[in-house]
Structure 1
Amino acid sequence: MKTILVIEDKQEVRENIAEMLQMARYHVVQATDGRQGVEFARSARPDLILCDILMPGLDGYGVLHILTKDPATARIPFIFLTAKVDPAHIRNGMNLGADDYLTKPIDDIDLLAAVELRLKKAEQTGQDVDQPGLADFLDAFRHSDGIPYSSLRYTKKQVLFTEGDAPINLFYIRSGQVKHFKTDVSGNAFITALSGEGDFVGLSGLILSTPHGESAEVLLDAEICTLPKAEFLAFVANHLDIGAYFMRLLATELNQRDERLLKLAYQPVRKRVAEALLLVHRTFYSVADESKRMPTKLPPNEPSSGKRSLSMTLSRENWSQLVGASSETVIRVLSDLRAEGMLELSGSQITLLDIDRLTRLKH
C-alpha cells in the first residue's frame, strides 16, 4: 500500500483529502503545518507528498526547499495545493522542484488522477526515494569518510571565488552562510542567491566547464568543505544516481536565478523586499536546528495566532544588493512594512511577525 503525506493547516480540508485517498486504498499520514510535515516526511518516508502553500510558520515553499536538500526525501514526488491560479505562482513552485499543482477546492477525480499519475511516473523512471549512493556521498562529505576533501573555517567577507574565475573546487557548507552576487561595470552588486548549511556552491561552473558567472562571498562565519574539481567529476562519472542528483540541483539553481532576475526587472520594490525577506527566511531557517540558524522570539504582546516571528540580521548593503534597490529605498519599504505590523526593526535586526501576509504580498 502506497503512503501519502498530506500537509495542510486547515483541518476540514486536510481531513477531506485524507478521506478521499483512504477510500482509494492509500495509507495517509496527516501533518497540520510545515514543520510537522518535514518531520513526518523524514520519519514516514511517504511515496508522495501533497502540501498546501500558505501555512503559518514554515510555508509550502519552505517545506519543499528543505526536503529537496535532504537526500532521503529529495526525490519524493511533491504536489502543491493552492487556492491561487497564477502562472508566476505556479512557475515559482515548479522551479523549486514541485511535480504538480492542484487548485482548491479539490475535485476528488482530479486529486486521484494526479496522485496516480505521479506515482506511476515515479515507478517508470525508477524514482526510488531511497538513494543509498547519494546518502553515502553526502555522509562522507559531512564526516570525512572516503572523499578526498579539506574542511576549513572561513570568516565573514572571505571570497570563495570571483566572477570570471576558472572553477577548480566544489564547496559544501557545513555551517554558516554564503552570498552569490554579480557586479556590473559601475561596480554595483546584485545578490543572485543565498546558500546555507547543506548547500553546494560553485556547481554550475564545474558541471558546465565554464568560468564562474558570479562571485561567492562568506556572509556569516562558516565551515566549508572543498572538493577538487577532478575528484568530483570522476566521482560523478562513476555514480550515475549522484550525477543525476547534481544535474537536477543545477537545473533548479539556474531556474531560481532566472526567476530572481525576472522579478528584479518587472516587480515593484515593495514586492521585491517581501521576496527578499522570505528568501532569507527559507534559506537560513532550519526546522531541524532552528536555534543555531535564526533565533526565535515572540514579542510579549504577540497573541497565540499561528504567527511565527523570526529574527535575522543582514547589513543595509546586503539588503540593498538582495532587493536590487538603493539602501534608502529598501529602508523606506521596511519602515512601511513595520507600520503595517508585518515586521519589527531594531538596528540591523529584522523580526518577521506575519509571514503569511508577507507571502501574500510578494504574489
Structure 2
Amino acid sequence: MKKKILIIEDDTIVRENTTEILQLANYDVISAENGKIGIEKASFFKPDLIICDILMPDLDGYGVLQILMRNRSLQKIPVVFMSAKTKHEDIRRGMDLGASDYITKPFEESELLSAVATRLKRKEIYERNIEKENRSPRKLKIDEIERVFKFKESVEYKAGSTVYCEGNVSNHIFYIVKGEVKTFKVNQDGKELITEIYSDKSFFGFTSLLESSPYVENAEAIKDTKILRIQKNEFFQIIKDNPELGLNFIDMLSHDLEFIKDHLMHLVYDSVRRKTADAIIQLHDKRGGQSPIEISRSDLASFLGIAKETLTRTLTDFKEENLIYTQKNEIRIKDKEKLQKIQ
C-alpha cells in the first residue's frame, strides 16, 4: 500500500513541484494551499507524513503543528518543516514544538526524498514496536511474581520451621507469599544473631544466586508462612523474558544491601534506645505500615544484638513514655515522630 503524504504549502510552484516529485516516487500525495485547509485535509486523509511550510498567511506552520499536537488522532503523524527560514532559533522552535525534521528551500530532489523515506521508516519502526508491546505481556514488577509462578504450589511452613540451614546447597530462591521469615547465623557459643527479617512479597535466599554454593546463613519461619520455592533456572528464564523484572530485582538487592549496612552501623554505634527505636520503625515500614508488629522478644533482641532483658527494659521505657503499645509478642507504634527522635 502506498504511503500517504500531505503537503501544506502556499507557494503554488513549490507545492506542485514537490507533489510531482513525491508522486513519481510512488507516494499517494494530496496538497493544501494554507494551514487551515491543511488541517481539514489531514483530518480525513490521515496521512503517514505531513510536509509543511512555515511562513503562510492565516495559519503558519508552527500553528499547524500545535493544532496537530492537540488532536489525538493526528498527533502521532510526523511533520517535516519546509522553509527558507534557516536561522538556528527557527529550526529549534520547530523541533521544540514536535517537528520531526527540517528541509530548507531551495532543496535538492534527493534531499527531499531522503528526508521523507527516513521519517516514514522511523514511523513504521515505532508503530511496529507499539504493536509488539501491545501483544506482549505487561512488564512485570517484583510483586507480580506470584502471577508468573501461579502454576507452582506454595509450600507452607509452620512457625519455627526451618526453611534451609547454613551449609545446604543453594538450588532455589524463595518468595514469601504470606508470612515472615528470619535469616540468622549462630556463633561458636550457640548465640543466634538475626541478619534480616523478611515479610510478605519479599525474596530471600539469594546470597548464592549465581552458583550452587552453600547457604551462608539459616532461614526459619517466624510465623505460619507460605513460600514459593523457585528454581534458579526458572527465575533466570523469567528475567530473560522480562528484563524490567531483572532491573527491579537488582534495585531490590541494592536496597537490601543499604539496609544491612545501616543496620550494622546502628548495631555498632547507636545506643540501645536508638537502635531499638530504629528497628521498630524499620519493621513497621517493611510491613507497609501495618500494625501490630508481631515478633518475639528473643528474635528482636537477636536482631539488635542485645540481651533479651535489656530489650525488655527498653520496651517498657518506651511504653511508659507513650511511644509504643505492647502485648505479648505484639508492638504497636503510638508516636512514630517522637520515636524517630530518640538518641
User: TM-score normalised to the size of structure 1?
Assistant: 0.52
Question: What value does the CA root-mean-square deviation take over the aligned residues?
Answer: 2.3
Within the alignment, does 1:244 sit opposite 2:240 as a pair?
no
Alignment of 1:187-202 (within 5 A): 187-202=190-205
Call closer, same or farther: CA 1:210–1:358 in 2, change over 3 Å.
Answer: farther
What is the deviation of 1:146? Answer: 6.0
Corresponding residue for residue 336 of structure 1: 317
Alignment of 1:96-245 (within 5 A): 132-135=138-141, 138-139=143-144, 141-143=145-147, 145=148, 149-207=152-210, 210-245=213-248
Equivalent of 2:283 in 259, 280, 284? 280
Q: Find the aligned partners of 1:234 and 1:313 in 2 and give their Cα distance.
A: 36
SS at match of 2:284: helix
Q: Find the aligned partners of 1:134 and 1:210 in 2 and give their Cα distance.
A: 28
Residues 209-267 of structure 1 deviation map (CA, whole Å, 9 limit, x = unaligned): 65323222111111111111121123324433222221221122122112211211111
What is the deviation of 1:339? Answer: 1.9
Equivalent of 1:324 in 305, 312, 326? 305
CA contact (8 A) 1:341 1:353 kept: yes
Call closer, same or farther: CA 1:327–1:138 in 2, change over 3 Å.
Answer: closer
163-172 or 265-274, which deviates more: 163-172
Larger Rg: 2
Call closer, same or farther: CA 1:313–1:238 in 2, change over 3 Å.
Answer: closer
* Aligned AA (1:132): R
CA contact (8 A) 1:166 1:212 kept: yes
% of aligned pairs identical?
26
Alignment of 1:15-54 (within 5 A): none
* Aligned AA (1:337): F
CA contact (8 A) 1:203 1:250 kept: no
SS at match of 1:220: coil
Call closer, same or farther: CA 1:138–1:259 in 2, change over 3 Å.
Answer: closer
User: TM-score normalised to the size of structure 2?
Assistant: 0.55
Call closer, same or farther: CA 1:244–1:209 in 2, change over 3 Å.
Answer: farther
SS at match of 2:181: strand
Q: Find the aligned partners of 1:147 and 1:313 in 2 and give their Cα distance.
A: 28
Alignment of 1:282-321 (within 5 A): 282-285=285-288, 290=290, 294=291, 311-321=292-302
Q: Find the aligned partners of 1:340 and 1:244 in 2 and give their Cα distance.
A: 43
Within the alignment, does 1:266 sit opposite 2:266 as a pair?
no
CA contact (8 A) 1:150 1:227 kept: no
CA contact (8 A) 2:143 2:201 kept: no
Q: Find the aligned partners of 1:247 and 1:327 in 2 and give their Cα distance.
A: 35
Q: Find the aligned partners of 1:346 and 1:223 in 2 and give their Cα distance.
A: 25
What is the deviation of 1:193? Answer: 1.6
Call closer, same or farther: CA 1:331–1:181 in 2, change over 3 Å.
Answer: same
Corresponding residue for residue 32 of structure 1: none
CA contact (8 A) 1:173 1:196 kept: yes
Q: Find the aligned partners of 2:196 and 2:149 in 1 and give their Cα distance.
A: 30
